[in-house]
Chain A
């Protein structure tokens, strides 16, 4: 582990104003707007379920609470010097594996409880945090091998880093998170400038491994969900039910939507897990095509800002971290929305910022905070 005292001195020698100019305000705004959309959906859900919206335990109340915690986490992560992450990369890695492993044991009986005090103890939430930690670990690993990334060994090394975590989430089993790990790894390797031929060969290997995974790794219900998206009508009440219902919800929204809280699919509970992985179905129903486009534009803008920050970062760690975060957000956006609108199989992947759930939002806030920490702790590269 290397500590870089000179850099800290550099940063402290600069005026506070310069540092804050380096803070990417746009990135924060886009993220905040997306989180607001998420809160709006939570509000809609609470309003439709009747009763007081601001009552303790209601979806919207919990959403507000999570948002508050997320802001605190974001500020803390921004203030925290990201370079310490490099120092603690390996301990972080093992903490990460420990969290994933422990969720395997704790996760069983505790399932379903979503009270905000019990964030520690939910496997779902550990894996959200694990995604960010994995990006940190990978960024650190690849930064250390900067310039030598043409070699196969660096690529394989990165893969080996991911494999234990990947196995742990597959054991949960959490196909979604394991896919996010793979996407993050691929995105970061690609952006690190790794040799394309090796990457291509690796991709081929993965494709070749799919039949093996299908036979030996995937459970029956996972296969069923993967297949059902191809033909949801084959079993409209079984695994295809949610797909059909979510497409009905989205399609019935039309151009302008039915208006917030007016979705009937949502209000009458036709859509199970409407606030979690399938929240986009309600968004499509209530806010329509236009609302969905605005959300897409916010995501594009957010990813763009992450890429800009990555580009600007003089520290390869910043480049890699930004790329990893961008890969994660893009992948989750495409897979989650694709699943809701029937062009992707069902895998439990949340929609960043919008899916209701504290761990996802807090992990993203932490990721964005780290990004901002990177932004303000180095002299800008010329753009």
Chain B
């Protein structure tokens, strides 16, 4: 054919190259098929599982946290809805991370590098949500939620935030909730906590965490790639709401106690102070004020680093509840221990008179009376009333350090009271063994003297001291102090009813304790506490001036002031013969250095307020600040 002649014949072309091309096709498609078979046949199950995991996640259903009320049912905390912004790092592609964080930082008015830090210090895995911002304004939250396509991995979550009523007034008791830390997480994970969860960090929020939290539920939800919930597939178990707490605290008493303490601190120029009000019959704390304090709402809203640093660096430690977490020398208030021990061990009787002198000597050392004179022979009531040092040196000497320490332990010193607040200190009760263990030498006789008047190695917490006096005031029952009265279920039923918890009974007869109560009353009637005796109510108590720190150029030591007072059941009529007191008050003034005892004035003012005494008995003149060391 002519058409063919002008062209090269078909046989010209290389059949081999066509075959080679065919082989290339087979190799190429064969490789694809092999790999497909690997994925879709050999490992299909594994990938199906991954796909399911992509799609459905087990999500916790948060339970509503229990509320906290005062003893009259006034709410101290409520749950308010708030927006939190969280990031699931696994859903935030690395390539977009900078852009997303910059955008988010702009919306939240946060430094993107802070967000980065939050993500990097995330305690959970990459698939767990990281809390970036709490309590975000609604408008901002909506903006972020609407921009979810440009903000992959960013989620806006509506959650409940704690709103504390009168935050600063109750923060030391109620505490606050805060995010779970990386250190806590491994343990908490097993009991259902999420990495972005909140947990009670201090106060009853921490101690009663288990009751308040309730139990989270769980549900399987279908989600899309950006993590948004599409639908709930299955509720695995419903959430159980947390129980609520009714505190022993009375909002009114707390306000009065705070008012009294604030007045005393302002008049005397103090930086730290404590007032605790307790019912000696039950161990219930009616008020507990530790100043300076802080606003726990700052924490509930997500405290800024600068605010937190400010609180941490404050030398007066506002975050610390000084009523339970700090220990101080008790000074003369500690004479309760030697007195009770001396009487109960029958080393002295109520009528035994010991000679009080300007000083006692042991070898070359002088142990002086606080007024440098003494009062001559005194009974225990008079000795306690005058707060005679030489009287109690002698009693302590008779008891010896170990017996003195044993009596201190009977009063609960040297071990935690077990109050239902976090961070309680245990105090120190020195004994021979303690001194050997701590300093490698035995107690010197002089140290026994000092221990007898609370100026030795002994240190106590305010709550321990008040609790010891309560045991004396109630006739010998050492109770566990507490701030939570009842635990109430979500339906209003009482889950844990209130019952006083007895630690132990004092091994002292009621007669001995009556003598000590009357001795405490003598403190007032003998006018050691000036015009406290003039009040229309009968107050008994003991003041203390506890030296600490280093002597100044004139050889004087700074000191704290203490006062523990209590009244009989009917303070207008009753005397102290019965252990029926229902009100005991402690005041502690840190580094007071006032002319008179500021703690006594604070307790007096509280009593005036509490009993509605119209006449004002306060001695402002005694609160002049200087470096006085006048009374004990």
A249–B482 Cα gap in the complex (Å)? 59
Contacts of B54 in A (CB 8 A): 245, 248, 264-265, 268, 270
Contacting residue for B92 out of A237, A253, A315, CB 8 A: A237
* B35 CB within 8 Å of chain A: yes
**Which of B29, B41, B55, B224 lies in contact with A289, CB distance below 8 A?**
B41
Does B33 contact A311, Cβ atoms closer than 8 Å?
no
Please, which residue of chain A has its CB at the minimum distance from the CB of B90? A237
Chain A residues within 8 Å of chain B by Cβ, number: 62
Q: Which of B183-206 contact A (CB under 8 A)?
A: none
Selected contact of B44 from candidates A251, A292, A299, A319, CB within 8 Å: A251
* Bound-state Cα–Cα, A382 to B13, Å: 13
Interface membership of A146, Cβ < 8 A: yes
* Docked complex: B58-95 residues within 8 A CB-CB of A: 89-95
B31 at the interface (CB under 8 A from A): yes
Cα of A187 to Cα of B17 in the assembled complex, Å: 10
Q: Contacting chain A: which of B1-9, B114-122, B536-544?
A: B1-9
Contact across chains for B44 and A190 when beta carbons are under 8 A apart: no
A333 interface neighbour in B28, B51, B126, Cβ under 8 Å:
B28
The answer to the question of A176 belonging to the interface, with a C-beta cut-off of 8 Å to chain B, is: no
Residue numbers in B under 8 Å from A343 (CB-CB): 31-32, 35
Q: How far is the CA of A269 from the CA of B225 in the complex (A)?
A: 6
Cα distance, A314 to B10, chains bound together (Å): 6
Whether A319 contacts B13 by the Cβ 8 Å rule is yes
Q: Is A284 part of the binding interface, using a Cβ–Cβ cutoff of 8 Å?
A: yes
Which segment of A39-47, A127-135, A334-342 sits at the interface?
A334-342
Would A235 and B94 count as touching, CB distance under 8 A? yes
* Other-chain residue from B29, B126, B224 in contact with A300 (beta carbon distance below 8 A): B29
Query: How many A-B Cβ pairs are below 8 Å?
Result: 152
Chain B residues within 8 Å of A333, by CB:
28-29, 32
Q: Determine whether B441 belongs to the interface, using a CB cutoff of 8 Å to chain A.
A: no
- Cβ-defined contact, A326 with B17, below 8 A: no
B8, B21, B51 — which one has the most chain A CB atoms within 10 A of its CB? B51
With A265-B51, A268-B222 given, is the CB distance from A341 to B28 under 8 Å?
Answer: no
- A279-301 vs B, CB cutoff 8 Å, 1 = contact: the mask equals 00000110011001100100110
CA distance A186 to B222 in the complex (A): 49
Number of chain B residues whose Cβ lies closer than 8 Å to a Cβ of chain A: 52
> For residue A191, which residues in chain B have a CB less than 8 angstroms away from its CB?
17-18, 21
Which residues of chain A come closer than 8 Å to B35, judged between CB atoms?
A: 338, 341-343
Check A341/B32 contact, CB under 8 A, given A250-B47, A251-B44, A255-B40.
yes
Main secondary structure of the interface of B (DSSP, over half): helix
**Binary per-residue interface labels of chain B (449-493) against chain A in the complex, 1 for a CB within 8 Å, 0 otherwise:** 000000000000000000000000000000000000000000000
Determine the residue in chain B with the shortest Cβ distance to A288.
B40
Q: Contact between B37 and A289 (Cβ–Cβ < 8 Å)?
A: yes
Chain B proximity mask over A310-325: 1 for CB below 8 Å, otherwise 0: 1110111001000100
Taking a contact as CB atoms under 8 Å apart, the answer to whether B36 and A381 are in contact is no
- The answer to whether A252 and B48 touch (CB under 8 A), given A193-B14, A238-B95, is yes
Q: Is A10 an interface residue (CB 8 A)?
A: yes
Task: Given A292-B40, A315-B7, A381-B10, check contact A249 B51 (CB 8 Å).
Answer: yes
When the two chains form their complex, are residues B93 and A237 in contact, meaning their CB atoms are under 8 A apart?
Answer: yes
Query: How many angstroms from the CA of A343 to the CA of B226 in the assembled complex?
Result: 27
A252 and B93 contacting across the interface, CB-CB below 8 Å: no
> Complex formed: what's the CA distance from A300 to B588 in Å?
93
CB distance from B465 to the nearest CB of A (A): 58
In-complex Cβ contact of A299 among B29, B36, B41, B94 (8 A): B29
Indicate whether B436 reaches chain A with its CB closer than 8 angstroms. Answer: no
In the assembled complex, the CB of B150 is this many whole angstroms from the nearest CB of chain A, namely: 14
**CB of A90 closer than 8 Å to a CB of B:** no
Q: Can you list 30 A-B contacts with CB-CB less than 8 angstroms, sorted by A residue number?
A: A146-B8, A190-B17, A193-B17, A241-B93, A245-B54, A254-B40, A254-B44, A255-B41, A264-B54, A264-B55, A268-B224, A270-B54, A270-B224, A284-B39, A284-B40, A292-B36, A292-B40, A293-B33, A296-B33, A304-B22, A307-B18, A307-B21, A307-B22, A314-B10, A323-B21, A330-B28, A341-B32, A341-B35, A341-B36, A381-B9
Q: Which residues of A contact B (CB under 8 A)?
A: 6, 10, 146-147, 187, 190-191, 193, 221, 235-239, 241, 245, 247-255, 264-265, 268-270, 284-285, 288-289, 292-293, 296, 299-300, 303-304, 307, 310-312, 314-316, 319, 323, 326, 330, 333-334, 337-338, 341-343, 379, 381-382
Known: A296-B29, A304-B25. 11 other contacts (CB 8 A): A238-B93, A247-B39, A248-B47, A251-B40, A254-B41, A255-B44, A265-B51, A311-B10, A314-B10, A319-B13, A379-B4
